[in-house]
Structure 1
Amino acid sequence: MAHKVWILNLDDFVFKSKALDALKTHSLKYIQLLKPGDFCVLSPLIHRDQAFLDYMARIKKIEHKNWVFLPKEQRQDESLVAAISRDEELLKKLRRLCAMGYVVIPLIYTKEFGHLSWLCENKLLNNSIAVQEANNKLVFKELCKKFGIPTIAPVYEAGMNKVPRILATLNPQETYLLRRPFSAGGYGNIKGNLVDLLPLIKQEHKEADFYLERYKEIYKTLGSLCMLKDDEVSFVGIDSQLIHKEAWEGCSFPFQRLPKGILDEIREKSLMLACYYYGKGVRGQINIDWAIRKKDGDLKLRALECNSRYNGFGLCLRLASTVYGINRRDLHFYMDTKMRFAPKWTTQKLIDELDKINAAIPFKGGVVLTSGVEDGKAGFCFIATNAQDLATLRKEFKRHITGLTERPTRDWE
């Protein structure tokens, strides 16, 4: 398996007005994808928490010192990929690594990255048009309709380059969700009635494409993960997601607390969609989000969206395999990216305490810090090989990390 240079192009996931915010907030978390021998390219605009970088290098066993590259400059109005593409010195470095057998790989394969890949003489093929279609929520809904997979239908579409379309009767008394066709992690999702949303709708017409759908109460939000490799399509499993204020904040795996028929249906439909995308030339990870609704006492399955990129599920798989040598067949994990702490907790203090916790546990696994402390919040992934050990890890964590505000258990069950 070739070593990689990761382009952490998080700003390509999110609609333009929030792209820089996403890049600054989440970039360092994706360092979890690296393996020994890998490099990564970060934006010069982000704050680099050196304690967190050193910690990641240690637990991931990255031995070379200069494993983080930066373009010389990134303007506020340009993407990370664009900044790399105009830094000739960095391009030469990437070309040399590609000539040595490295593969330059992005978090999401875009048309712009395809051009950068060509400039680097990189041996990575993907279909940027198919990837973009897979990540477009409205295109995904149309594909589900063709496959007979129920979704939550849009009722209104509009945007900067679109003629507004009313697709269903709009009721001022109902609650709606304003969403962007191409955005990740809940960026841009806003809930409200038409009166609340009208000022935003007027503004969004000028800035970005968006749509409205009726807000539905959801019993569970689940994610399924498929791997699309050159020679196969495989189903990894199903996780349970933590959604707060219409945004993703964590997940747990494995999830089996639903009737077997529904779980089998998720597996079948996930593979159906993954095989379709594979035929279109998409490679890598495909994550599909699903809603479980309760209606008249029955559980109903609805497809929500598709993400052709690495997400929280994929990050936890990589952490488990690279830090603890745990494969996905044995894996149990619990991830919360927004835990809150008392002010005394710094990134380094948390790292020191986690080292003590992990050194004392008598089983395979441990707790990984998944982000540095910022505004009193940080993320963690608890990793074990069975449910009992996972519960023990969480208890030990609570005992050592005081002043913690944790999620109620019911959010995960």
Structure 2
Amino acid sequence: MTSRVRRLWVANVEEVFAPRGPADDGWLLPKLEGMAPRFPYHLAPGDALLVSHPVPAEVRTYVRQVGGFGKEPLPVLVPGVRPSPWFLAEAVQADQQLFAQVRALVATGAWRLEPYLETPLTHRLGEALGIPGGRSPRSVVEEGLPERVNDKHAFKKLARAAGLPVIPGTVAGSAAEARKQTFRLPPGPDGRLMLRRTQSGGGLGNLAGDPESLRDRLPGWFRPGLVLIEPLLPFNATIGVVVEVGEEGCACRGTDEQAFDDGRWVGFRAPATDAALAARAARDTGRLAEALRAGGVRGYLNLDWGVIDHGGHRELVAIEANFRHNGLAHILDWGRACFGPVADGLCVWFLENAPVAARIDSLPALLAGLAPLRLDGIPLLLTRRGGADRGVTPILPPRDGRAGVAVFGPDHAWVGRAWDLVKKALA
């Protein structure tokens, strides 16, 4: 057993979606079930995972095989109690048998919680277990600083205070007020506005259109809470930056160019190809990270920058941020588990929703489809840890005709060639 502080990962993704009520469990729980298989990829040998739904055995087997677990166990713990509205931290404490099992586990050495999103609920769970509830002090979390980063409206205030440019606009707290503002606010260059729920991520809470169309669509789209109304700016690209905010300082963990489909985030390519622009984005993200560090929070700051091309000059505008684990840091960590230190110099493309044929309906079928692939005489599918600087690894098993796949390689050109082979094999 390892001597380091071990992490009890808490996949509390549901806390990203707020506000919620019991009626929202109907759409939320199936979404969480589809996300559950990605969380074992976060674990290092000696860690454990609390998650909302069971993870298929073949996923756990693949993670153990490729992630270098050796004889270390890979505990995946699922509550048998379903409180409504669903909160994982509350479910763990409500399931007396599971709670006793977790308490016995964390009594075996030095542990701390590693929540997907640090909240008062995760800190209360940590207190009940007798271990730290996250990286940040409980007082800072309960005062709401991480929550303000995750809220799109509050983020704008934090960004402005740090001297970062943000999207202009206004905010509304009701459907009636939002309708008024759509006719008052100047739209973007193409005549459209963007409405964004302040407590939603991944493009799921966005609505774009001209004022007339928004007036008709807004009543059915609006949910309780605040909504940003902004001009739809002509972004040519979106650059993401991850900065780790630690005790000793802030360090950029990576940059990416994000991919969207119909306004929804579907993946990324890392690192960002425009090195100079990415360096500017990383520098300015670091300014906000340092301000947050001074406020006491610890963890990952993820900031999305919109890029506007002005005839050769590329302008950066801060769109939104979150303070939690995210896709880029997750994939980079898995790359280190697969390749060791060489991973820090690799490129990676990740697509969360890669189309797959009907015959590819499970992780074994996905692995079978990838197994024959070769590029430059090298097998693409990663089947063990180390020994290479390139390869393909599944991240999410097939579900509803889609799968999550990551391709690592020495440069974007090689990764692009590999990705073409992957797409053909899965079609």
Distance 1:191 1:163 in 2: 13
State which of 355, 360, 371 in structure 1 corresponds to 2:379.
Answer: 360
Deviates more, 1:166-175 or 1:77-86: 166-175
Per-residue CA deviation, residues 268-310 of structure 1 (Å, 9 max, x unaligned), is 2111111111111211111110000124653211001111111
Compare 370-379 and 21-30 and name the one that shifted more. Answer: 21-30
Task: Tell me by how many angstroms 1:37 deviates.
Answer: 2.0
Residues matched between the structures, number: 397
Shift of 1:388: 4.8
1:341–1:377 Cα contact (<8 Å) kept: yes
The 3 A distance-change label for structure 1 pair 215 and 182 is: same
Aligned-partner SS, 1:320: helix
What does residue 301 of structure 1 align with?
A: 316
Superposed, 1:28-67 pairs within 5 Å as 28-44=37-53, 48-62=55-69, 63=71, 67=75
Deviations 1:109-131 (A, max 9, x none): 01111111111111244132211
Please give the residue correspondences for 1:9-24 in structure 2 after superposition, counting only pairs within 5 Å. 9-15=12-18, 16=20, 17=24, 19-24=28-33
Given the superposition, is the C-alpha separation of residues 206 and 267 from structure 1 closer, same or farther in structure 2, using an over 3 Å criterion? Answer: closer
Output the aligned Cα RMSD: 2.8
The amino acid across from 1:27 in the alignment is A
Contact 1:338–1:377, Cα closer than 8 Å, also in 2: yes
Secondary structure of 2:399's aligned partner: coil
Q: Residue 83 of structure 1: SS of its match in structure 2?
A: helix
Counterpart residue number, 2:86:
78
Structure 1 contact 155–168 (Cα < 8 Å) conserved: no
Q: Specify every segment of 5 or more residues in structure 2 that has no aligned partner in the other structure, as ranges.
A: 381-386
TM-score, with normalisation over the residues of structure 2? 0.84
Partner of 1:2: 5
Q: How does 1:194-233 map to 2 (within 5 A)?
A: 194-198=211-215, 201-202=218-219, 207-233=224-250
Alpha carbons 2:179, 2:215 under 8 Å: kept = no
More displaced stretch, 335-344 vs 145-154: 145-154
How far apart, in 2, do the equivalents of 1:106 and 1:7 lie? 4
Is 1:119 matched up with 2:138? no
The whole-number CA distance in structure 2 between the counterparts of 1:158 and 1:204 is: 13
CA distance in 1 between partners of 2:49 and 2:167 (Å) = 38
1:260-339 pair list within 5 angstroms: 260=276, 262-295=277-310, 298-327=313-342, 329-339=344-354
Counterpart for residue 367 of structure 2: 351
Q: Residues of 2 paired with 1:21 and 1:338: CA distance?
A: 16
Question: Counterpart amino acid of 1:4?
Answer: R
Map of 1:411 onto structure 2:
none
CA distance in 2, matches of 1:248, 1:163: 24
Residues 1:239 and 2:261 aligned together = no
Provide TM-score, normalisation by structure 1: 0.87
> Structure 1 residues 319, 174: CA separation in 2 closer, same or farther (over 3 Å shift)?
same
Give, in whole Å, the separation in 2 of the partners of 1:55 and 1:402: 19
Question: What per-residue deviation string (whole Å, max 9, x for no partner) do you get for residues 127-169 of structure 1?
Answer: 3221111111111111222233211123332159x99995992
Q: Is the contact between residue 372 and residue 379 of structure 2 (CA under 8 Å) also seen in structure 1? A: yes
Relative to structure 1, is the Cα distance of residues 23 and 159 closer, same or farther in structure 2, using a 3 angstrom cutoff? farther
CA contact (8 A) 1:6 1:104 kept: yes
Aligned to 2:99: 91
